[in-house]
Structures are given as structure tokens and as C-alpha cells.
């Protein structure tokens, strides 16, 4: 079992780098995607597949992954045929734009190392009772109460029994959910279901120009992913200091970029800047 993090120009390359470092077959590796679903840069955390390997950035220096350098992007240029659009692998299959392998006529591999043909199995006899309470010492405004009711309605229609707490502060409604039965379904495909519910509740409760922020976590999975991303950023920043090189993470979504900025804000010896536009926006880690 390993909790090492590995990077590459896309998810497939990151998995190959992990496999090489751990001396195992890539198909045996189970992992979570921390960043880079859209290509250009990917960061994965290995869940199993071999002994602990090198931390983020080490494979980049071995020549098997991107090679960051002063003022140079760690990823190939936009439009590079290796990283954008479908391509064929050495078995005649096609690779999609997310780095997964899709054999002709068959399902493709997802971002967690499984098959994209279906979500994780949903228990047919799973709980249906929903019990989300206001967190101890917290209180909800009318908006927070509305967010709670909307989430309960959605989960009721889904027949997903979930427990948890809700709190509210600074126009942010936060849900800490728990579920032994449905946890894997919520976090599959880069927490797709969790993010979708978060988006729906946020859109419904926001009114006109007033945006109410909604955040959700289940079984602490998002908090752990945030910690992993922050630690990986600190590891890479240490390399930037030691090697006097500019490293570039990303593309990352706004939330991921904010987490990296915060993680490195008080670290002496480096500064962080964002560059790029839209989905290609990334963070530069610059040694002082």
C-alpha cells in the first residue's frame, strides 16, 4: 500500500510514472486524481500497487514525465497531438482526451483506475433514511435552512440514506456527510456526484447577483484530498528552492489554485503566481 503522489503531462503518464517507480504493472495501480483531469498536467495519489515511492516531482526529473525549467512550462504546448484529442495506443485502441484507454468497442478506464462503463455498484439494500442535523453550536439563516431542505429533497429522490451535519458562516453553507454504503459512489470519478449535488444546491439557493457558496464533504474524502494537494505543493516548492527552478502546477480549478496559494503562503523561499486563462490556468511556484 502506498500513498505516494505522482505527476505527468496527463493522467495516463502519471500512472505510468507511478508504475515505473513502484516496479508494478500500471493496470495494478489504484489511485485518486488530485488535479489535471483536463490534460496538460496531472497529479495522482496512489492508493495501492506497491511500496511507497518518490514524492511529487521526482518522476519529472527522471525524464519520464514533464521536465520543468526556469520560465518553461512543465506541460507540452496547447494543441500538442500527444495530449489533446483521441489517439491510438500500441494495442490499436483509442485514448481519450483525459488520458484514459478506450479499446475499440469497449468501455474506457476512468480516473480512479476502474472502468468508465459504470459507476461503482450502488447497494440495492442500502439505507434510505436521511439524518442531517445542524452542527453543535451552529445556527442557520433562512438561506442555510433552504440549502438543507433542498439537499434532503434531492437525496430523498435518489433514495440515498445519508447522515451528517450542516453549518453556516460568511455566506457559506457547509455539509459534512457520512455514509458507509454510498461513500464510494459520491467520490467516484473525481467526486463527481458530490460536486454535482454541491453545484445544484448552490445554484438553487443563490438569488440574482447574490451567490451563496455551498461546500460538501463525505467521509472526510475532500478534506484528505485537499491535504494531499497542499502537501504535494509543499514538496514541489521545496524542490523549486533547492534546484532554483520555476515549477508550474496545473491546470487546476479555482478551488485547487486557492488551496495551493494558501499552502505556500507562509513558506519562506518561494512565491506563487497564477498564469493562463480558463481551464489552462495554472500556478507557478517561483523561488525567491
CATH number at residue 194: 3.30.300.20
Assigned domain for 110 exists = no
Task: Please state whether 276 falls in left (phi above 0), alpha (psi between -120 and 50) or beta.
Answer: left
Chain-centroid distance, C-alpha 181: 22
Does 236 lie in the same domain as 176? no
pTM of the model as a whole: 0.60
**CA distances for 80 relative to 52, 84, 249, 251, 287, angstroms:** 32, 6, 18, 15, 28
Rounded to a whole number of angstroms, the CA Rg of the chain reads 20
d(CA 195, CA 173): 14
Does 227 lie in the same domain as 215? no
- Which one of 87, 102, 117 terminates a domain? 102
pLDDT in tens, 79-109: 333 433 444 444 444 444 434 433 333 444 4
What is the residue-level pLDDT of the chain in tens, covering all 288 positions? Answer: 345 777 776 777 778 888 888 888 888 888 877 765 544 566 777 876 544 333 343 333 222 333 333 333 443 333 333 433 444 444 444 444 434 433 333 444 444 343 343 578 888 899 999 999 999 999 999 999 999 999 999 999 999 999 999 999 988 999 999 999 999 999 988 888 999 999 999 999 988 778 899 999 999 999 998 999 999 899 999 999 999 999 988 788 888 899 999 999 999 999 999 998 888 888 999 999
pLDDT in tens, 198-215: 999 999 998 877 889 999
pLDDT in tens, 29-47: 888 777 655 445 667 778 7
pLDDT at position 257 is 92
Assigned domain for 260 exists = yes
Does 234 lie in the same domain as 214? no
Does 229 lie in the same domain as 213? no
Q: The C-alpha cell of 170 is what? A: 460568511
- Number of domains forming the structure of the chain: 3
Assigned domain for 66 exists = yes
Q: Which domain holds residue 135?
A: 131-219
- Which one of 187, 219, 251 terminates a domain? 219
Does 241 lie in the same domain as 204? no
Helix ranges (DSSP H) in 159-220: 183-205
Amino acid at each position: 500500500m502506498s500513498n505516494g503522489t505522482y505527476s505527468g503531462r496527463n493522467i495516463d503518464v502519471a500512472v505510468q510514472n507511478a508504475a515505473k517507480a513502484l516496479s508494478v504493472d500500471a493496470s495494478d495501480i489504484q489511485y485518486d486524481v488530485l488535479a489535471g483531469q483536463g490534460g496538460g498536467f496531472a497529479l495522482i495519489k496512489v492508493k495501492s500497487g506497491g511500496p511507497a515511492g518518490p514524492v511529487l516531482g521526482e518522476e519529472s526529473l527522471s525524464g519520464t514525465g514533464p521536465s520543468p525549467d526556469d520560465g518553461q512550462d512543465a506541460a507540452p504546448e496547447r494543441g500538442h497531438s500527444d495530449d489533446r484529442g483521441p489517439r491510438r495506443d500500441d494495442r490499436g485502441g483509442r485514448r481519450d482526451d483525459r488520458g484514459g484507454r478506450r479499446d475499440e468497442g469497449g468501455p474506457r478506464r476512468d480516473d480512479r483506475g476502474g472502468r468508465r462503463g459504470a459507476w461503482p455498484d450502488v447497494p440495492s439494500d442500502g439505507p434510505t433514511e436521511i439524518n442531517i442535523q445542524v452542527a453543535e453550536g451552529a445556527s442557520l439563516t433562512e438561506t442555510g435552512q433552504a440549502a438543507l431542505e433542498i439537499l434532503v429533497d434531492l437525496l430523498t429522490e435518489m433514495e440515498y440514506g445519508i447522515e451528517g451535519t450542516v453549518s453556516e458562516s460568511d455566506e457559506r453553507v457547509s455539509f459534512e456527510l457520512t455514509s458507509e454504503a454510498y461513500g464510494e459512489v459520491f467520490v467516484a470519478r473525481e467526486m463527481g456526484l458530490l460536486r454535482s449535488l454541491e453545484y445544484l444546491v448552490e445554484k438553487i439557493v443563490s438569488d440574482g447577483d447574490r451567490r451563496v457558496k455551498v461546500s460538501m464533504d463525505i467521509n472526510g474524502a475532500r478534506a484528505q484530498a485537499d491535504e494531499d494537494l497542499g502537501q504535494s505543493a509543499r514538496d514541489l516548492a521545496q524542490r523549486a528552492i533547492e534546484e532554483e527552478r520555476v515549477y508550474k502546477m496545473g491546470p487546476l480549478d479555482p478551488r485547487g489554485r486557492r488551496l495551493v496559494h494558501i499552502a505556500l503562503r507562509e513558506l519562506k523561499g518561494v512565491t506563487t503566481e497564477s498564469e493562463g486563462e480558463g481551464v489552462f490556468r495554472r500556478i507557478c511556484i517561483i523561488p525567491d
